Amino acid sequence: MERIVAPSVLSLEFSQIVTQLKRVEVAGAAWLHYDVMDGVFVPNISFGPGILKQVDKLSDLYMDVHLMIQSPQQYFDAFIESGADSITFHVECFENVEEGLAAVKYLKSKGIGAGITLRPGTDVSAIVPYLKSVDLVLVMSVEPGFGGQAFIPEMLDRIAQLNEMRQLNNYAYRISVDGGINDRTGAQCRAKGADVLVAGSYVFSDDIEKAVASLL
């Protein structure tokens, strides 16, 4: 699969939004990563569908939406209408696999990419029933909720495990990694099988073009 960089809108400087969105696109980023937090599932609050709609108007990049919220399925339509190309939700938000798989099926019926993710402390076995159906598996390499955290090295084994399951079963999902990504950790993730690298503070804190190039 191709190598994808997905700069995180969470770290974007909104007073320079037009310039920064153009710079990541010119640098070779193919996706934008949009974190949604509700202050309940995670102890932080970020953006809703209204801001996504504005960002989508300013960029033609693939819009990768990560819902860190309770009852994510209630908000699928709002984010789809606002420009989401892919929506990833947490396995912990559903009481049973049937409900979660129904959510995946609904997203696909709308022509939207469906992704599954889990907290670093949740066992991988929780997402195994989803692997044959989803388009994306997001490995959280930090505890979800805040930007700027340090990469959890143990998550490299999780990436390798998901890559092995993908190859053994001929599954089609991409493996994305979010949290503490920079040139060093990004290279480690790529070596274990990651396709998509989500990076916020690393991309937007200094030289955008250099940062994106280092992750590609």
Largest CA distance in the chain: 47
Identify the DSSP state of 40: S
> Is position 183 annotated as part of the catalytic site?
no
Q: Which residues contact 214 (CB under 8 A, 6 or more apart)?
A: 182, 183, 186
Is 38 buried (19+), middle (13-18) or exposed (0-12) by CB count in 10 A? middle
Active-site residue (options: 35, 56, 64, 195): 35
Active-site residue (options: 56, 64, 178, 195): 178
Structure tokens belonging to residue 168: 């053994």
CB 144 within 8 A of CB 119: yes
> Is position 60 annotated as part of the catalytic site?
no
Query: Which residues are known to be catalytic?
Result: 35, 178
